[in-house]
Chains A and B, each alone.
Chain A
Amino acid sequence: MSRNVAIVGVGHSKFGVRNDVSLPELAWESIKMALEDSGLEQKDIQYVVVSNVGGWSSEPLPAVVVNEYAGICPTGTVRVEAACASGSAAVKLAYDMVASGHVDIAMAVGVEKMNESPTPTVVEFIGRAGNYFWEFQNFGLTFPGYYALYMTAYMHKYGATEEDFCKVAVKNHYYGARNPKAQFQKEITIEKCMASRYIAWPIKLFDSSPITDGSAAVILASEEVAKQLTDSPVWIRAIGYASDTSNLSKRDTFTSLRAGVIAGEKAYKMAGIDKDKVLNIIDVAEVHDCFTIAEVMAYEDLGFAKRGEGIEMIRNEETYIGGKIPVNLSGGLKAKGHPIAATGEGMIAELTNQLLNRVEKDRQAPIKNGYALAHNIGGTGHYAYVTILSLSKP
């Protein structure tokens, strides 16, 4: 028997080049915000899941470093890794701790300091995140390179152009410009995107999310505790998950991320949502736009658009506020930034604030049904987590 779990507090640091803080200082920014948001103290937290991919940063045991700094000790903690979906994996683990009745209050905190290493080292580390021995060792793929394999295939199959994909970047920068937490707070034009240099053909610099430092924290509580803490809990209705092969050569298709499809379907089933009617239910979504192609595939994988029609959604501006479903009103990974293992908690924190009408007015989605969806992919479809939040209790 599983218990209902609510989000009772969230925190979100400014994303960007955060060389003004160390890794534990950066984590503390979000933890402090989440504690204050929930009205809880450190002693109330019964388990802490820390997501951090690291390698590029100096602390090999970030969970204990963060907890010591935050005064959450000897509570119990663990560090999780699911590549760029680590944050959602951390929320899933914290959710399970509460849902199972092991604890009443748990926290997921994601922190990443990618700028502790020079850019070429970071490019190397992320490039190795696939199958190191068979696909990196000899062929030197990079993270943009892996997604470029998908973009080439998508363009060929559906006749999408590089200019089409730039429209995703333009949208996400438009909203990033309205989010004070975003790494890039400037609007861009199609022309600027098209003029940017190739980093992994056909992916250009402006198709790509940046190297980011950042943190985000989410505090989860059982229904009983949540009722005492807040009049406006946001409920976790479902967390769907799936994974895929490490070797991209073993994938059957390069126009869709299978793990994303399965994670979405699991989440819809758990939340009792019909995939065909998802546009009538979800008010706002954050999807994993590490590259512009990833956002377009997400539209299709999640059932926002039919196969091959994801590109139409962005051409027709259907994912802006006022369109069929507003997507990435935070600026997304593209403009808000992508601190690898903090991105998942960042999405959940953003959507909690969206549902509670707490974000900046010009990027606030109209909340009608009280449902939000976070789609968080790790690696190149290696991991996938889809989380559905709602204002109504399960």
Chain B
Amino acid sequence: MGEEKKTLKDMYDSQMKQFFEFVESMKKSLGVPMFPDMKSGRAQYLDQREITLKFIISIENIKDFFNALAEGKLLATKCENCNEIYFPPQRDCPKCKASGLGWIELSREGELVTFTQINVKPYSFSHYDDYIVGIVRLPEGVNVTAWIREKDPTKLKPGMKMRLEIVKREPEDYYTYEWVPVS
């Protein structure tokens, strides 16, 4: 058959498609986008307008982070005045009000602090299989949140050693970073 695996997104999309088709048929017969809620029968009106949210976020002051990521490095910023390290990286040091902080490369190994597996995914993540998200503490004293390359959460424990890898996220095809358990 060569059937492709159905994702949560396929399920969400087919439910919404059925729902919209139902409301369209009601609209045709009633002349207004009015329909009874499937469970309660209460009258509802389907919004006839739609917006798509896709934000444009300035990274002008932290673009080095993304350039380095594409070269396989994970960077943080460091304040030369007070030695504070910032991850996620930020241009400004609120502690001593210095600006234009310099860059350091972070260690690649750390210790797992905590984790979860996301089973009910947000719509924009519903095309992925269940993924594990963890927070790992680095020797520099900063924590890094990322996916962990593991399918079974019962195989993980806080305190485990983790190694960071720069990876391509598919199917979107862009560089990000991921934790890999060190066995």
Same complex for A and B? Answer yes
* Partner-B contacts on A (CB < 8 A): 17, 19-20, 58, 118, 120-121, 123-124, 127-128, 131, 133-136, 138-142, 144-145, 148-153, 156-157, 197-203, 247-251, 254
For A136, A138, A254, the residue with the greatest tally of chain B CB atoms inside 10 Å of its CB is A138
The answer on a CB contact under 8 Å between B40 and A153 is no
Note all chain A residues with C-beta closer than 8 A to B39: 17
Residues of chain B lying within 8 A (CB to CB) of residue A135: 145
User: Residue A149 contacts which of B57, B115, B147, B176 (CB distance < 8 angstroms)?
Assistant: B115
* Given A142-B120, A249-B143, A254-B135, 11 new contacts (CB under 8 A): A19-B37, A20-B42, A124-B122, A127-B122, A139-B146, A140-B121, A144-B120, A148-B116, A156-B159, A198-B117, A201-B153
B16 surroundings in chain A (CB, below 8 A)? 118
Interchain CB contact under 8 A, B114 and A201: no
Q: Are A140 and B125 in contact (CB under 8 A)?
A: yes
Contact check, A140 vs B128: say whether CB atoms are below 8 A apart.
Answer: yes
Shortest CB-to-CB span from A5 to chain B, Å, is 34
Chain A residues, CB < 8 A from B120: 123, 142, 144, 199-200
Most buried by B among A118, A201, A247, A250: A201
A200 and B119: CB pair below 8 A?
yes
Closest to A135 in B: B145
- Name the distance in Å between B140's Cβ and chain A's nearest Cβ: 13
| Complexed CA–CA distance, A384 and B54 (Å) | 30
- B133 contact from A139, A151, A247, Cβ within 8 A: A139
Query: CA A123 – CA B126 in complex, angstroms?
Result: 11
- Interface size bracket, B side: 35 or more
What is B's interface to A at a CB cutoff of 8 Å?
12, 16, 19, 37, 39-40, 42, 44, 47, 57, 87-88, 113-126, 128, 131, 133, 135, 142-147, 153, 157-159, 169, 176
In the complex, are the beta carbons of A201 and B57 less than 8 A apart?
no
Kindly state the separation between the CA atoms of A250 and B36 in the bound complex, as whole angstroms. 47
CA distance A144 to B135 in the complex (A): 16
The smallest beta-carbon distance between A258 and chain B, in angstroms, is 15
Q: Are A249 and B87 in contact (CB under 8 A)?
A: yes
Partner of B123, one of A123, A149, A152, A247: A123
Residues of B within 8 A of A202 (CB): 116, 153
User: How many angstroms from the CA of A248 to the CA of B88 in the assembled complex?
Assistant: 11
Q: Please, how many angstroms separate the alpha-carbon atoms of A144 and B131 in the complex?
A: 14
Separation of A144 and B126 alpha carbons in the complex (Å) = 15
Please provide the 3 A-B residue pairs with the shortest distance between their CB atoms, ordered closest to farther: A140-B125, A148-B116, A124-B122
Bound-state CA distance A118–B19 (Å) is 11
Query: Can you name 10 A-B pairs with beta carbons within 8 Å?
Result: A120-B12, A123-B122, A133-B88, A136-B122, A139-B133, A140-B121, A140-B125, A145-B118, A149-B115, A199-B119
When distances are taken between beta carbons in the complex, the residues of chain A under 8 Å from B157 are 156
- Chain B residues lying within 8 Å of A198, measured Cβ to Cβ, are 117, 119
* Chain A min CB distance to B26 (Å): 15
Of B40, B47, B57, B116, the residue contacting A145 (CB under 8 A) is B116
Residues of A within 8 A of B144 (CB): 249
B119: chain A residues at CB < 8 Å are 197-201
A149 close to B125 (CB less than 8 A):
no
On whether the beta carbons of A19 and B42 are closer than 8 Å, the reply is: yes
Given A138-B169, A139-B146: A200 and B158 interface contact (C-beta under 8 Å): no
Contacts of B121 in A (CB 8 A): 123, 140, 142
Q: How far is the CA of A198 from the CA of B154 in the complex (A)?
A: 13
CB-CB under 8 A from A197, the residues of chain B are 119
Complex Cα distance, B147 from A127, in Å, reads: 15
